[in-house]
Structures are given as structure tokens and as C-alpha cells.
Amino acid sequence: METEILHHTRASFQDHLPVLVILVPFLAAPLMVLLGSRRLSWPIAFGASVAAFGIAILLLAKVIDGTEISYHIGGWAPPLGIEYRVDAANAFVLLLVTGIAAIVLPYARESIKTEVPVRHHTLFYALFLLCLTGLLGVVVTGDAFNVFVFLEISSLSTYVLIAQGSYRDKRALTAAYDYLIMGTIGATFFVIGLGLLYMATGTLNMADIAERIADQGGNRTVRAAFAFIVVGVGLKVAIYPLHLWLPNAYTYAPSAVTVFLAATATKVAVYVLLRFMFSIFQPAFLFEVNTLEFIILPFAVLAMFAASFIAIFQNDFKRMLAYSSIAQIGYILLGIGLLSEAGLTAAIVHLFNHGITKAALFMGVGIYVLRSGGSFLDDIQGLGRVMPLTSAAVVIGGLSLIGVPGTAGFISKWVLVQAALEKGWWPVALMIVASSLLAVIYVWRVIETLYTKPPASDVIAGEAPLSMLVPLWIMAIACVWFGLDTDLTIGASQTAAQGLLSGSAGMR
Amino acid sequence: METNTAILLSMLIPAGATLSNIVLHNRANLRDTVTLIAAIATFLAVLTILINEGNGTTAPLVLFEVLPGLDLAFSVEPLGLLFAIVASGLWIVTHIYGVGYMRGNKEGHHARFFACFSFAIASVMGIAFASNMFTLFLFYEALTLSTYPLVAHKGTPEAIRGARTYLGILIGTSIGLQLVAIVWTWTLTGTLDFTKGGILEGHIAGPMVAVLLGLYAFGIGKAALMPFHRWLPAAMVAPTPVSALLHAVAVVKAGVFTMLKVGIYIFGIDFLAETGASEWLMWLAAFSVIAASVVALTKDNLKARLAYSTISQLSYITLGMALATSMGVLGGGLHIAMHAMGKITLFMCAGSIYVATHKTDISQMTGLGRIMPITFGAFLIGALSIIGLPPLGGSWSKWLLIVGAADTGQWVMIGVLMVSSLLNVAYLMPVVARGFFLGDTAGAEIKESPTLVWLPPALTAVGCVALFFYAGDIQAFLAPIVER
């Protein structure tokens, strides 16, 4: 009798995983504010993010073979109730987001001590968890309006988190303000699009919408909805001409926030884009409206070159990486624009690989800021000798950014070039490699600065604290690991791509 | 010892030497001794493979699958084994020379220098034993990156500029062209394994074969085919031991080795011959041979002259592959060993002159031969081998190349090889003649360089003579790569 009960509770815990991954950080955030203890806030935040990471691993293990989990909030069946839906595509993104959060928090502890006044630390961690909640919610939900709600939760907390950088540099305030304005415009567009969709279908459940608009490709309301949603989410993704908020936000935010945002926020937005394009509007619709070939693809290529060029001329390492992020988003969009299984796989793989690569690099920058007081090339010159461990990890991250074989970035590039060649798109394949050569230039500028110039005189000698070095090295090793062992990344991405391309069949 | 263990050891030992150099960075004697032992151990590991396998081919040792169907895998075949023997054998000599040179010349950062040096050797072993193009590419890039700090070693603006050119051209061509070629091959055939007779036949036809070959030929920037040869003279700012091993043996030979691998195992010699896709490459290689030699004539800086000579000699090997005949390929393979031995001698002599006199220009070397007879004697032997005169090793590879050209009826190519030999005489012999016969013995304070510096080139000079007598064995050893 007893064993049966035990079995029952275990099964129900397993069943609730999709909502637990959100609830854990969501409840931990107010808890630490209510407790009001500065000593407890970090352990709570860390515990919550590790728990979320554990749940994400369990979820991915369940869906990596192509199965889907549908979870009904409060037991209300969709389309009336809100549905959470986990498949390979979002379980993979969940893993990235929670994993980065769990690794960034130990790093943040030392980092924000110098960047944010102590009295704000509890609130900082609470906001961090709220931001995490929002991102996870966006990923896990199967309800279109719910996406908007969670997107706003994450965005609002992000604005505040970026503004925390103002204790180091006042420009963080204007950066946060810029992002607030542009993010809100994006959110408005997004919600207008949702409204139009609701008008056309009378439902907000993603699977339901997909089913009802399947034969409405020519409907103008649906087309307008599509346009609004792509532009709205495009702002969050930082698709090239909509990227203006990103460089300042990344540059002036506290180091730990930049690491977290760069590795997760834009990636989650890309996921939303994928979800709406493929699961709701369907690949057939995309063919019909030609958005990918005429809008996504050209802007992707533009981003790859323009942003990389701008990155070359930056004198602030952090800003250089921010522009590089915009260029890298170009690769992801390019993969989507190829509109093939190989292309989508490449996009999703790069989403993950670029996430870990940028996390490693921004962590390195944060350590330089901590030790030398700034991230300008003048500040970091010669640090290769003073801080050999940090710099070695930064070099690994840089190589992964270039796409040197043996690193995660190479795998992305390989599958992306392969996808382009498979389609017979010669020029695109050449453009991919050409733009990664631009990455060589800006990465090498940094490496030369680190190793061939003498250190500035006012640098605090010595390595970073261990609590920052370990997360940095975890990321650096991940860059190499996922460059050699791609079972997880390629496997999950392929399953996800297949699911997305099968359109509503994947949702049912 | 198992062959597969030996393959792994041949990479792990130099990689371990990298670590030992970092850990023991301020215990100079111990550090350099450990590296010397590592060099000998690596050579022994490679010899073990030779004893086990002879000139046979082994099944791939798959470490793991990186992408579906794409393995990180190693195997032994004659050409790769020859390359590994040459590189690991000369590592011992160069290490001894390097210790002497770095100390004699009071260069800094020894630990970093030898650490990167060892890592470069580990990469070379990876290239030599790679059993597919993917694995080869991985180590090819590792070699580029690990030699960058060596080129930039002096840290002067000139060195950094040179290193930048070096990296820019090598990474630019490999990512911009070679990677595209590899992915293209992969999409066409679904495999990148080095297979006897090639993998491309039946998957590609018409002018696209020539385009793909072009992507490979220019993408393998280390082969220094014109117009992507600028990195080689730029890299000459590196300390001489680097120039000697890496730019006469490891890096450039990795380039032409990859070229031969692509020709033999990706395209297949017969496929190239049938389609005639390599004909343009043959003409370009012939142009490189002549043009680089002419440029070498104009260089007064000894290392720069040797660098252009290397560009010219590398194109012999590319030419051998492009002839698409078994004799040409054998000649190219043989030339890897012959040129390595000859050129390393010349570079070490140049370094020896620099250590003893701090002179780099040929015009200043008047009369030095009479003060430094061993150095200049070794230089003479190395030069004769490069020119291709008996009884020195270089004569055989040139002979085979000429036979190959005659086989295919490319009479112009025979002419090119002959003219090139004459040009070799014209740019190498004046150095020796000036040293021995011209001027008076100026500056009594100049002496022969330290033993550790003059001994290694003397040894490799003897090697050049020895190779003349063993050339037949090497040719027989390589024969399986062109068997049908």
C-alpha cells in the first residue's frame, strides 16, 4: 500500500515539472524580499536557479526523443485553460537559460559587490530571478497571450537590472531608458499582432490558433498580425535595423547582467520568433508570404557584415562583443531563412553555442572590469600576463566566436555552411565564411592587446577570485566540449527542427 | 606497443611537453631536458609505428564522433608516416639547436617559446595521422594558432605585424576557402575519409572539379602557392629555430602534405588525370616555382632569400601532385623529406651566422666562411641538396618529378624544373662563395658559434648525404600510395 502512494506522488511530481520550472524562481524572488536578509538572498537565488536547471534537465531527457508534454494549468483543458507545452525545441532553450542562470549566479556574487551597492543586493537577486522566471515562462508556455505576459515580466526586470550599472557608469540609466522605450514599442507591436490573431481566430492557445489560421493564408488580418508579431519580436531579438538598444544595454549593464542577457534574452526572443513562424503560422504560410527570403535573409546578411564591421572599430571590449552579438544573431536568422531542416538545426545549434560562447567572453570582460576598472582596450592591455587563467579562457571563447575547429562555434558554422550548400546557395555559404573572417579581426585585436602590450601601471595584480574563475572556466570548457561532442546539441536541435517544420502536426 | 597507442602517444607526449614547459617555467635546465626527452620519446613512438606497420595502412582509430558520420579519427598510411618521421626526427635536432640559439642569443620567454613549439609538434602529429579531412583540418588550424605566438615571439612592432600577416593569410584561406571545400565535399559524398583512389569520382563532374580543386589548393595556405605566399616571408621575423623547424619542415610541409593527401585520397590521381582538372594548378605551381626563385635572387636578407626559396620548393610538391601521375606524386612525397632536410640545414646555418655575428644580410657575410667553416660547409651541402646535385638527397626527388613530367608529356614542366635548378644555383651559391672566397677576414672577435648551434646543422648536412643513398628505400616505402 505504502509503495503505491509513493509511486503516486513521484508520478505527480514528474507531471508538474513544466510548471515547477517557473514556479521555483517565481516564488523564490518574493520570498527573499520578504525575508529581507542580505545573507540569505544569494543562497536562495542560487538554490532556485539550480533547482530550475535540474528540472530543465529532466524535461529535456523526457522530450529529446520527439515526444511532447502538454500541461494544463489548474487542470483547465485548453483552449479555455492555459497550456504549457514542452517539446525538444523549448526544452533545449530551457536547458540553456537555466544552465546559464545557475552558472552566472556564483559569478555575480563577487562581481556585483564592486558594481552595485550592498543595500540593493537582495533586490538585485530578486529581479534576477524574476527575469529568469519571465524568460522561462516565455519558453515553456503554449498560450500566445501568456508569452506576452512573461515577456513583459522579463523585460521590466531587465530594464531595472541594466539600470543597476549606473553605479559604475551613469550612462547605464539612458541605456536602460532606451531599452525601455524600444522594448515597449516591441511589446506593443507584439500585443497588437496577438489582438489581430485573436480577432481572426477567437482563441489564444497556440495550437488552436495554428489550426484555425491554417487555411487563412490570404486573410489580411492574419497577414497584418504576422507583420506586427515579427517586428515586435524582432526588436527583442535585435534583428539588424532593430538592434539599437542592444550595444548600450550590454555595455553599461553590470557584468553579470550582461552575461545573463547576452546568453539568454535574445536567444529566448529567437525562440519566440521560431515558435510563431513555424508552429503558429506554419511553414506553408512562410513560403506564401516570402518573408524569409526577402526580409529575414537580407537583414541577416546585413547584420553579419555591418555589425561585424562596427565591432572591428570598437575600443571597448564589452561593446565590441555587443556588436558581435548582433552579427551572430544574423547567423541564427540566416539559418531560419534557409527554411530547411538543416538550416533550422543550424539556427538552433548556434543559438545554444553562441549562448555559451558569449557567456564565457562576457564573464572574462567582467573579471577585467573588476581588476582593472574598465573594459576599454587600454584598460585590458597586457592582462594576458597578469591574469593568465582568465585570459586563456577569454582566448578559448574568442576562438569559439571565430569558429576555430574544436570549438562550439565551429560546429555552428559547419552545419550552417552545410545547410547553405545543401540548398545550393553558394554565395550565402561564402558570405558565412567571409563574415567569420571579420570575427578573426576583432577577436585578434583583443588577443594582441592582451598579450603583446605591457600592462597599465594601475592594474591590481593577480587573478580573479575563484568564484568568478570557476564559472568562466566552466563556460570555456563547455565551448570546447560542445565543439567535440555534439550528441546533445545536434541531437536536440535536429529533433526540434523536425518538430518545428512539421508545423501544426508538431503541435497536435 | 600497439600501433594505436603509439599514435596517441606521438600526440600526447608533445602535448605533455607543452604542460611541462608551463609548469617548469623557471627551471631552465630541467625544463629543456624534459622537452628533449619528450622529443626523443615522440620519435621513438613514431618509429614503433614504422616497425609495426611498415608501409601498410591501418584501420582508423576513432576517438569519438563529432557530428553524425564525422569522426575524430587517426590511422597510419605511408605518406603520413613519412611526414611524422621527418617532423619528429627533426624536432630532436631543432630542440637542441633551439636551446643553444635561445640562450646564445639571449632571447626572452623561453618557457612560452618551447611550450608553443611542443604544441605545434603535437598538431603536426595530428595532421600526419589524421584519417579524414575533418580531423586533418582541426589540427591544421591548431598548428596555425600554436605557431602564432612563435612568430610574434620578439614582441616588437615588426614581429607583431609579421605575425598578423601570418595569421591573417593562413586563417583567412583555411576558413574562407578550405572549409568551404571540405563542407562541399562532405555534402557531395557524405564522407571525408581518406580513401585510396579518392572519394569524389562519380559525385562531381565538369569544370566544378577544377573549382573544388582550386578551393582546396588556395585554401591550403600553408602550401604557400602564389598568390597566398606572403605569410612565409612575413613569418621570418620569428627566431631562427622557429623558421628552421616550423617554416622549413612542420608548417609548410603540413601544407604540401595536405595538398598531396587531397590529391591522392580525396580526388584520386586517376580522377584528376581523367578530368584534367589539375592542369591549371600545374601551370600555376610552375609559375610559383620560377617567380619565387626570381624574387629570391633579389633578397639580400638571408632568411628572406631562404623563405622565397621555400615557396619555390613547395610548389615542386604541388606541381608533382598536379601532374596527376604516380611518378609525380612519388616525387612530391619524396621531396617532402628531401627538402625538409636540406632547408632545415640552411636555416640553422643562417641562425648560426646570426648568433655568431648578428649579421642577417648576405652582403655583410664576406669572408665569414673562413672563420666559421663548419657552418658554411653545412650550408654548402644543404644548398647543393636543394639545387638537386648528386650525391645529395635532393637530386632524387627532382629526378622523379622530371620523370613524372616526361610520363605525361609535359615537356615545358621539365624545362621549368631545369630553369629552377639554375636559379637555385644563382641565389644559393653566392652566399657560400662570398663566405669562402671573397674579402678578407674582418673582425678578429668573431668566432664559430656555440657547439649546440653549429652541431645540429652539421648533423642534418650529413643527413642530406645519407638521404641520397636511402632515397630508393623511401620511394619503395611510399609506393603503396599510388598503387591501383
Q: What is the ipTM of this complex?
A: 0.85
Placement of cell 525562440 in the chain: A271
Taken as a whole, chain B contains a residue count of: 484
Q: Residue A162's pLDDT is what? A: 92
Please, what is the average pLDDT of chain A? 86
Q: Is the pLDDT of residue B104 over 80?
A: no
Nearest by CB to A433, from B141, B167, B176: name it: B176
* Most confident residue range from A75-79, B343-347, B365-369, B479-483: B343-347
Taken as a whole, chain A contains a residue count of: 508
Our CA-based measurement puts residue B206 at a distance from the nearest CA of chain A, in whole angstroms, of: 17
Q: How many CB pairs under 8 A join A and B?
A: 70
Rounded Cα distance between B32 and A401, Å, is: 35
Q: Residue A217's pLDDT is what? A: 64
Q: Residue A259's pLDDT is what? A: 92
Q: Taking the domains of chain A in order of start, what are their residue ranges?
A: 291-498
Q: Which chain A residues have a beta carbon less than 8 Å from that of B149?
A: 451
Our CA-based measurement puts residue B325 at a distance from the nearest CA of chain A, in whole angstroms, of: 31
| Residue A313 exposed, middle or buried by CB count within 10 Å (0-12, 13-18, 19+) | exposed
Nearest by CB to B66, from A399, A421, A486: name it: A486
Tell me the DSSP string of B121-169.
HHHHHHHHHBSBHHHHHHHHHHHHHHHHHHHTTT-SHHHHHHHHHHHHH
Under an 8 A CB cutoff, do A433 and B186 touch? Answer: no
Q: Which chain B residues have a beta carbon less than 8 Å from that of A452?
A: 152, 155, 160
Q: Is the pLDDT of residue B167 over 80?
A: yes
Query: pTM score, two decimals?
Result: 0.89
Q: Residue A506's pLDDT is what? A: 41
Nearest by CB to B72, from A440, A452, A484: name it: A484
- Can you read off the three cell numbers belonging to residue A337? 531563412
Under an 8 A CB cutoff, do B67 and A440 touch? Answer: no
- A116 Cβ contact list (under 8 Å, min separation 6): A124, A164, A167, A254
pLDDT > 90 fraction of chain B, expressed in percent and rounded:
10
Nearest by CB to B183, from A414, A436, A437: name it: A414
Query: How many CB atoms are closer than 10 A to CB A157?
Result: 21
Q: Which chain A residues have a beta carbon less than 8 Å from that of B179?
A: 413-414, 417, 433
Our CA-based measurement puts residue B137 at a distance from the nearest CA of chain A, in whole angstroms, of: 7
Our CA-based measurement puts residue B473 at a distance from the nearest CA of chain A, in whole angstroms, of: 37
Under an 8 A CB cutoff, do A418 and B145 touch? Answer: no
Residue A192 belongs to what H/E stretch?
helix A171-201
Q: Is the pLDDT of residue A82 over 80?
A: yes
Rounded Cα distance between B180 and B178, Å, is: 5
Q: Phi/psi at A86 (nearest 5 deg)? A: -120, 125
Chain segment B344-401, per-residue pLDDT in tens: 888 888 888 888 888 888 888 877 777 788 888 888 888 888 888 888 888 888 888 8
Our CA-based measurement puts residue A478 at a distance from the nearest CA of chain B, in whole angstroms, of: 14
Nearest by CB to A404, from B141, B183, B186: name it: B141
CB of A363 closer than 8 Å to CB of A429: no
Q: Which chain A residues have a beta carbon less than 8 Å from that of B175?
A: 402-403, 433, 436-437, 440
Residue ranges of chain B whose CB lies within 8 Å of a chain A CB: 64, 66-68, 72, 134, 137-138, 141-142, 145, 149, 152, 155, 160, 164, 167-168, 171-172, 175-177, 179-180, 183-184, 186-187
Cis bond upstream, residue A241 (ω within 30): no
Mutant choice from B183, B184, B186 vs A, greatest count of A C-beta within 10 A = B183
Our CA-based measurement puts residue A430 at a distance from the nearest CA of chain B, in whole angstroms, of: 7
Q: Is the pLDDT of residue A2 over 60?
A: no
What is the average pLDDT across A450-475? 80
Chain segment B55-69, per-residue pLDDT in tens: 778 888 888 888 887
Mutant choice from A404, A412, A422, A438 vs B, greatest count of B C-beta within 10 A = A404
Under an 8 A CB cutoff, do A485 and B168 touch? Answer: no
Mutant choice from A417, A445, A447, A490 vs B, greatest count of B C-beta within 10 A = A417
CA closest to B173 among chain A residues: A437
Question: What is the phi-psi region of residue B455: left when phi exceeds 0, alpha when psi lies from -120 to 50, beta otherwise?
Answer: alpha
Q: Residue A283's pLDDT is what? A: 74
Q: Which chain A residues have a beta carbon less than 8 Å from that of B68?
A: 490
Under an 8 A CB cutoff, do A433 and B179 touch? Answer: yes
Residue ranges of chain A whose CB lies within 8 Å of a chain B CB: 399, 402-406, 411, 413-415, 417-418, 421-422, 429-430, 433-434, 436-437, 440, 444, 448, 451-452, 483-486, 490
pLDDT > 70 fraction of chain A, expressed in percent and rounded:
95
Rounded Cα distance between B235 and B163, Å, is: 6
- Helix, strand or coil, per DSSP, at residue B301: strand
Our CA-based measurement puts residue B401 at a distance from the nearest CA of chain A, in whole angstroms, of: 35
Mutant choice from B137, B147, B180, B186 vs A, greatest count of A C-beta within 10 A = B180
- Can you read off the three cell numbers belonging to residue B9? 602517444
Q: Which chain A residues have a beta carbon less than 8 Å from that of B134?
A: 405
| Alpha carbon distances (Å) from B238 to B122, B245, B307, B342, B470 | 20, 11, 12, 20, 33
Q: Residue B442's pLDDT is what? A: 57
| Alpha carbon distances (Å) from B327 to B256, B323, B324 | 16, 9, 9
Chain segment A161-185, per-residue pLDDT in tens: 999 988 888 888 999 999 999 999 9
Q: Is the pLDDT of residue A46 over 90?
A: yes
Chain segment B368-384, per-residue pLDDT in tens: 777 788 888 888 888 88
Beta-bridge mates of residue A205: A143
Kindly indicate the confidence band of residue A6, based on its pLDDT and cuts at 50, 70 and 90. Answer: very low
Our CA-based measurement puts residue B242 at a distance from the nearest CA of chain A, in whole angstroms, of: 19
Please name which of A257, A267, A453 lies closest in space to residue A369, comparing C-alpha atoms.
A257
Our CA-based measurement puts residue B420 at a distance from the nearest CA of chain A, in whole angstroms, of: 36
Please name which of B291, B259, B293, B257 lies closest in space to residue B278, comparing C-alpha atoms.
B259
Kindly indicate the confidence band of residue A328, based on its pLDDT and cuts at 50, 70 and 90. Answer: very high
